[in-house]
Amino acid sequence: MSVIFIVLPLAFVFALLALLGFIWATNTGQFDDLDTTAIRPLLDDEPAGRGKKD
Amino acid sequence: MRWNATQSAQTEPEAQARDLDDRAQFVGMRAGIGTTAGWKPAVHQNGLEAHSTGADVSCSHCGLPVPAGLVEPSASLQFCCTGCRTVYDVIRGCGLENYYRLRSADDRAARPASVSGRTYSELDDPTFATLYVRDTNNGLKSVELLLEGIHCNACVWLVEKLPMIASHVVEARLDLGRSLVRIAWNPARGSLSTAAAALDSLGYTAHPARDTTARELRRREDRKLLIKIAVAGALAGNVMLLAFALYGGMFTGIEASIETMFRYCSTMLGVLSLAWPGGVFFRGAIAAIRTRTAHLDLPIAIGLSAGAVAGVVNTILGRGEIYFDSLCVLVFLLLIGRWIQRRQQRSAADSVELLYCMTPSVARVIEADRVRDSPIEAVAPGMLCEVRAGETIPVDGVIEAGSSAVDQSLLTGESQPQDVTIGAPVCAGTLNVSGVLRVRAEATGEASRVGKLMALVQRSAQESAPIVRMADRIAGYFTVGMISLATFTFGIWALWDVSRAIDHATALLIVTCPCALGLATPLSMTVAIGRAARRGILIKGGESIEVLARTGTIVLDKTGTLTEGKAMLLAWHGDESLRAAAVAVESCSSHPIARAIVSASRETQPFPPVTNVRQIVGGGIVGQVDGREIVIGSRRFLESRGASVPADLGIAADRALADGCTPIFVASAGVAGAVAVLGDPIRADARQSLDALRKMGWRIEILSGDHSRVVAAVAERLGVPAEQATGDASPEDKLARVRELQGVAPAISRCFSADRPPRDIELHSQAHPLIAGATGPVIMVGDGINDAAALRAATIGIAVHGGAEASLSAASVYLNQPGLSPIVELIAAGRRATRVIRMNLCASLCYNILAAALAMTGILNPLIAAILMPLSSLTVVSIAVGGRSFSARSDRASLPDGVRGGRSVASEPGAQATGLCARETPLASSATHSVSRLTPLARARGSDVSDARASDSAAAQGSNSLPNGGRA
């Protein structure tokens, strides 16, 4: 079980990387607006050219 | 108002047609399209025939019912107004019809689109640029604008397609929650004003987002808190994983070296969690100790530090429990509670900010005979400003040209507009009602009367004691209880074994740490605030809710709060046949009195032709109708023109004066034949709301800046005793009265003379329950700048629908619905919310007592603690979310009939057609209506049309519901 002495710090490093990622995302403003972002994927872009008439 | 009349007046097709007609007229002007500017009574003669099929046809753009007269049977597209038609054409023209597909049926706009046709040239002013525009690193410029009219998900799509319409715009990103769009554009290829005009053509009016620095600061704080939550979460997760292993080892055995390592790792991560994200609680606790006030952070910090010390000691000694798994989760959950609370309060604040930003930021400055739009910040004393009808006067100054009537109700509470002419002083913040004025600025910004009143507001904010939250009040007892129990436990166990005594006392301190309490109150508040916001009641701080559950004094302003805030025709004495002639003559004027008489017209016949109309400033109006000379005005005016006044009309006029109304005489051929009684009508729901409030145990008081006579008349009709109605109150008087009612005035002056921090006031007033509790909390309800200081000083300030921006920023609650019934609703809901909070406190106390008992008897082990803690949190969360604070049904049931006016449109589309809402049309609800008092800009959208009347009628009708006659 001595492998745990290596694996545990490694796990912490991974956690730290994830945390750094989150902090980066926060600081670049990706969590400033949580309402609109939730909608954006649902708004499809139209295919190229002027949209179809319906 | 008008819209309502349109929909309900089935029996008066002509009146309806006329109504539609002049709306179509001014829409045309506003949009700069369609009709010509000739607004003549003659237009009324070919009124529309009302079709019976209107109600079930909905507008192709906004989805609202198309007024009967505007339905075009052959067309596949139907529009309720020119605004919608214009916007539809723009959207189609740009190939953006997808908007209509994206929009779901419920997402329909709550109001018709309005296209202002403004040029937005003020956005290109250098002053504006330095204030709001920022350079991005790739040579572009970016700015944040608040958009009026954002209502649904499809709006996101449409607004973000802005680059397709305005090619110099590189990117537009909309924040739906805040109606805030960030535009990045290439300054070499186009200006910001064209981008704003493009947004305008889509039906969104853009306003510069003020307070850029404050918003930036808030954003940075938000991010910081979010990062803290992330760190706390990551640490808690890892410590929990370690704890699982350790608990597992407890039952199945674990290698000693691994156990030691895990314990050290847990301690390391745990200490990190307490030191960084958990630091907020320690800082809060230290602040609480320093000011000697109770704060929930204090017991939390005690629990955390006891756990941390015991954990570290036990880790080093290699025995006993380390508590870091519980502590880390605790920090994580408490921070989440704070974040949720912050987010909810922010969204209420954001809604208020949007309203705030809709106020004018533009002044029309005249330089070298050229009129130029300038940001209001750039106006300096000595400059000459033009103020058109329906606009707010931007500066304190003296009139250099023109004459008009000025509505000062927001500034002074005076209900009657004052006639002003050359040489008269005018104040910033007052409303120019009828004519075009040129004002030489004497004082601007902070030096103006409004600026000084705002300084008063700020001072009263500093001096008023903050509301002590229930949770914080309890926190004091909690801390004492925790520590004495721990001491007791330690004392008892120390008789046998000192080390076990330390263990049990520490365990007690940790498990009694009020995690559930810290989560429960913010959550219950958040839920209540969120539900209130959905019903048009914006609550800026959760603390207000607890105060509402008590009883005390409600102080109400009169003008604009208890009354509609604008003159209307209340009665007509004498010859009815003179009415048509009077309306015909007055329709040529834009004076507020004239407008009141015209809008109350129930004539079904075309107006008789009027010739020779002359308006005499400060007197009245004269015109020829059917060969007779019609003179309309005050008694003095009539007599000065040689007309005699019969005795019975004189009596009627005196009675009207005694009631606080204004009598206007109408004379035909030298003899006064009728008296029109004009006044500021009391809101339809005022009496019922006040009765409901009285029934709940609140004392009602009226405090107004209007004449005592008028105030007394209103008080009498509302059943308020004369001694509780005060008139002629200046803003300073109002502030003093609110202070007096709170009973803290002497304490405050003493505190401040001793130069102690404001926080001490709270202690002081708490120390004298007799003083503080003499009358209970004081709620101030008002709408004007003159109420702002009192709103801020009161325990709770409620700004009513349509109030001035100063009252918006000063009040802690803003009603986004017309009428007074929301106040009743608010108080009833406040009581329910407080009940939920109490229930929650009870539940978390029960858990704590259970845990304390276990800890004291020594049965508690960390595993049980680790289970109890989330369980208690889960309980309070479900109570908070499930609790009925503002839930729709119970609210409705608790209100007396008739107090239920003004529901939000989205939830009750049927109300539109039936005109259920007594005084306000559903269309005019929400932000749109408040525009009519808030934003002269929105009102005076006819700014491109030189005819003052265009903006005038725009002012009369607000910025809503603009059906198109479909014909020019």
On whether the CB atoms of residues B540 and B815 are closer than 8 A, the answer is: no
Q: What mean pLDDT is predicted for residues B246-255? A: 85
**Which has the closest alpha carbon to B4: B958, B653, B659?**
B958
Q: What mean pLDDT is predicted for residues B599-628? A: 76
Residue B781's DSSP bridge partners are: B556, B798
Tell me what pLDDT residue B918 has. 30
Q: What mean pLDDT is predicted for residues B721-737? A: 86
Tell me what pLDDT residue A20 has. 95
Coil, strand or helix at B365:
strand
β-pairing verdict for B778-782 and B537-539: unpaired
> Is A43–B153 a contact, with Cβ atoms under 8 angstroms apart?
yes
**Burial class of residue B893 (count of CB atoms within 10 Å of its CB; 0-12, 13-18, 19+):** exposed
N-to-C CA span, chain A: 67
Interface list for B 208-267 with A (CB within 8 A): 219, 222-223, 226-227, 230-231, 234, 237-238, 255, 258, 261-262, 265
SS3 assignment for B166-230: CCCEEEEEEECCCCEEEEEECCCCCCHHHHHHHHHHCCCEEEECCCHHHHHHHHHHHHHHHHHHH
**Burial class of residue B276 (count of CB atoms within 10 Å of its CB; 0-12, 13-18, 19+):** middle
> Is A32–B222 a contact, with Cβ atoms under 8 angstroms apart?
yes
B319/B256 Cα distance (integer angstroms): 11
pLDDT tens digits along B803-838: 777 777 788 888 877 888 888 888 888 888 888 888
Question: Nearest CA to CA, how far is A41 from chain B (Å)?
Answer: 11
Is B745's pLDDT higher than 50?
Answer: no
Among B202-211, B309-318, B640-649, B738-747, which is the least confidently predicted range? B738-747
On whether the CB atoms of residues B796 and B465 are closer than 8 A, the answer is: no
User: Given pLDDT bands bounded at 50, 70 and 90, which one contains residue B105?
Assistant: low
> Is B95–A50 a contact, with Cβ atoms under 8 angstroms apart?
yes
Considering only CB atoms, A1 lies closest to which of B154, B175, B255, namely B255
Q: What mean pLDDT is predicted for residues B676-701? A: 88
Considering only CB atoms, A39 lies closest to which of B176, B231, B261, namely B176
Question: Nearest CA to CA, how far is A39 from chain B (Å)?
Answer: 7
What is the pTM for the complete model shown? Answer: 0.67
β-pairing verdict for B180-185 and B141-148: antiparallel
Q: What mean pLDDT is predicted for residues B890-899? A: 38
β-pairing verdict for B396-401 and B437-443: antiparallel
State the Cα torsion B447-B452-B453-B457 to the nearest 10°: 130
User: Given pLDDT bands bounded at 50, 70 and 90, which one contains residue B262?
Assistant: very high
- Say how many residues make up chain A: 54
B58/B463 Cα distance (integer angstroms): 53
Please give the C-alpha separations between residue B512 and each of B74, B304, B333, B730, B868, in angstroms, as whole numbers: 74, 10, 15, 52, 11
Give the up-direction half-sphere exposure of residue B558: CA atoms within 13 A in the CB hemisphere. 36
> Is A1–B258 a contact, with Cβ atoms under 8 angstroms apart?
yes
For residue B233, give the chain A residue with the closest CA.
A19
B265/B112 Cα distance (integer angstroms): 62
State the Cα torsion B336-B338-B341-B342 to the nearest 10°: -110
Interface test with A, best of B156, B219, B229 (most A CBs within 10 A): B156
Q: What mean pLDDT is predicted for residues B745-760? A: 38
Positive or negative: CA dihedral B395, B398, B402, B407: positive
Is B236's pLDDT higher than 90?
Answer: yes
> Is B176–A26 a contact, with Cβ atoms under 8 angstroms apart?
no
Interface list for B 491-550 with A (CB within 8 A): none
pLDDT tens digits along B485-540: 889 988 988 898 888 888 888 888 888 877 777 777 777 887 888 788 778 788 87
β-pairing verdict for B671-679 and B662-668: antiparallel
Look up residue B966 and give its DSSP letter: S
The interface predicted TM-score (ipTM) is 0.85
Please give the C-alpha separations between residue A28 and each of A19, B67, B413, B847, B860, in angstroms, as whole numbers: 14, 48, 48, 41, 45
For residue B101, give the chain A residue with the closest CA.
A54
On whether the CB atoms of residues B929 and B829 are closer than 8 A, the answer is: no
Q: Which residues of A touch B (CB under 8 A)?
A: 1, 4-5, 8, 11-12, 15-16, 18-19, 22-23, 26-27, 29, 31-36, 39-40, 42-43, 46, 50-51, 53-54
B748/B737 Cα distance (integer angstroms): 14
B867/B329 Cα distance (integer angstroms): 11
> Is A23–B227 a contact, with Cβ atoms under 8 angstroms apart?
yes
SS3 assignment for B840-863: HHHHHHHHHHHHHHHHHHCCCCHH
> Is B223–A40 a contact, with Cβ atoms under 8 angstroms apart?
no
Q: What mean pLDDT is predicted for residues A1-11? A: 87
Is B132's pLDDT higher than 70?
Answer: yes
pLDDT tens digits along B427-483: 887 888 877 888 998 888 778 777 777 777 777 766 666 666 777 777 788 888 888
Question: Nearest CA to CA, how far is A13 from chain B (Å)?
Answer: 11
DSSP B612-636: EEEEETTTEEEEEETTEEEEEE-HH
User: Given pLDDT bands bounded at 50, 70 and 90, which one contains residue B355?
Assistant: low
Tell me what pLDDT residue B884 has. 64
> Is B222–A15 a contact, with Cβ atoms under 8 angstroms apart?
no
State the Cα torsion B104-B105-B107-B110 to the nearest 10°: 160
Element (H or E) spanning B437, and its range? strand B437-443
User: Given pLDDT bands bounded at 50, 70 and 90, which one contains residue A18?
Assistant: very high
- Say how many residues make up chain B: 968
B18/B879 Cα distance (integer angstroms): 55
Is B897's pLDDT higher than 50?
Answer: no
Q: What mean pLDDT is predicted for residues B256-276? A: 92
pLDDT tens digits along B362-408: 788 888 778 887 877 778 888 888 888 777 888 888 998 888 888 88
Q: In chain B, which residues have their Cβ closer than 8 Å to the Cβ of A18?
A: 234
**Which has the closest alpha carbon to B215: B132, B149, B298, B155?**
B132
Element (H or E) spanning B387, and its range? strand B384-387
For residue B255, give the chain A residue with the closest CA.
A1
Tell me the H-state helices in B440-559: 449-463, 470-494, 498-511, 515-534, 543-548
Counting one residue from A and one from B, how many pairs have CB atoms under 8 Å apart?
70
User: Given pLDDT bands bounded at 50, 70 and 90, which one contains residue B927?
Assistant: very low
Q: In chain A, which residues have their Cβ closer than 8 Å to the Cβ of B227?
A: 22-23, 26-27
Considering only CB atoms, B95 lies closest to which of A11, A35, A51, namely A51
Written as six digits, the tokens of B706 are: 């209007």
Q: What mean pLDDT is predicted for residues B661-672? A: 85
Among B280-289, B637-646, B708-717, B739-748, which is the least confidently predicted range? B739-748
Tell me what pLDDT residue B944 has. 35
Is B967's pLDDT higher than 70?
Answer: no
> Is A33–B175 a contact, with Cβ atoms under 8 angstroms apart?
yes
A15/A12 Cα distance (integer angstroms): 5
Considering only CB atoms, A19 lies closest to which of B98, B219, B234, namely B234
Written as six digits, the tokens of B263 are: 């314990």
Q: In chain A, which residues have their Cβ closer than 8 Å to the Cβ of B226?
A: 26, 31
Is B935's pLDDT higher than 90?
Answer: no
Coil, strand or helix at B719:
coil
Residue B553's DSSP bridge partners are: B699, B778
Element (H or E) spanning B782, and its range? strand B778-782
Q: In chain B, which residues have their Cβ closer than 8 Å to the Cβ of A54?
A: 97, 101
Tell me what pLDDT residue B761 has. 37
β-pairing verdict for B180-185 and B362-367: unpaired
Mean pLDDT of chain B: 74
Tell me what pLDDT residue B606 has. 65
Coil, strand or helix at B404:
strand
Tell me what pLDDT residue A16 has. 94
What is the Cα B75 distance to its own chain's centre? Answer: 40
Is B1's pLDDT higher than 90?
Answer: no
DSSP A2-53: TTHHHHHHHHHHHHHHHHHHHHHHHHTTTTS-HHHHHHGGGSPPPPSSSPPP
pLDDT tens digits along B281-327: 999 899 888 888 778 888 889 888 988 998 899 899 888 788 888 88
Coil, strand or helix at B724:
helix
**Which has the closest alpha carbon to B937: B395, B406, B391, B409?**
B391
Q: In chain B, which residues have their Cβ closer than 8 Å to the Cβ of A35?
A: 175-177
Tell me what pLDDT residue B902 has. 35
Question: Nearest CA to CA, how far is B56 from chain A (Å)?
Answer: 22
User: Given pLDDT bands bounded at 50, 70 and 90, which one contains residue B111?
Assistant: low
Is B677's pLDDT higher than 70?
Answer: yes
Positive or negative: CA dihedral B299, B304, B309, B313: positive
